[in-house]
A and B are shown apart, each in its own frame.
Chain A
């Protein structure tokens, strides 16, 4: 059974700092991995999607990496801003025969202080 863990559960940093959020998973037979952002009381916004054959994806100040063999992914946020404050969730898309089910971690709550 796939389990997804995110560390740390919460993180507070000063504005401008570069930071890394971690995600680990127990079963390397994944189809893809997504990083989502969730603002309080809101739904989820997909930030980056990495296919199992890829090692990383970049969008603006965000860079996500994937190491299937070690069961790890990181989300790197450069030059953090107060507007980056939110909960960040990683989710695993399982093997092809598991269809569309996503398995989520518990999230990392990020606070960027001005």
Chain B
């Protein structure tokens, strides 16, 4: 596609529920990243995929968070047993090869609200 697409744009869920956030990167980009941004803060790294594999998942806060990219294109970020503290904007980005964080293109984000 022309840009990075994230769905849904907004998600409201109840505490304890499971959510999935989807990212469709720019066609041909091998690197895909997930970030989380809280109000008034810069984005914080969660996980980085090179192709189908998670090359660096050191930013995932705990085992309730999981992400997949089974065919090396679309990625899904999954959050189990959501907590109010998970409320944030979840941003996805892709880049052509991911080396050293080469120019990254970001989606519009998914605003997750846990009530």
Contacts and interface: CB of A to CB of B under 8 A. Distances in A.
Interface of A: 4, 6, 31-32, 34, 36, 41-46, 49, 89, 91-96, 98-107
Of listed A6, A96, A98, A100, residue having the most chain B CB within 10 A? A100
A4 B91 CA distance: 19
A99 B59 CA distance: 13
Given A43-B107, A43-B108, A99-B55, A32 B102 contact: yes
Interface residues of B, number: 31
B41 A106 contact: yes
Contacts of B41: 106-107
23 contacts: A4-B42, A32-B100, A34-B103, A34-B104, A42-B109, A43-B107, A45-B106, A49-B103, A91-B42, A93-B100, A93-B101, A96-B99, A99-B55, A99-B100, A99-B101, A100-B55, A100-B104, A101-B101, A102-B45, A103-B45, A104-B43, A105-B42, A107-B42
B104 A46 contact: yes
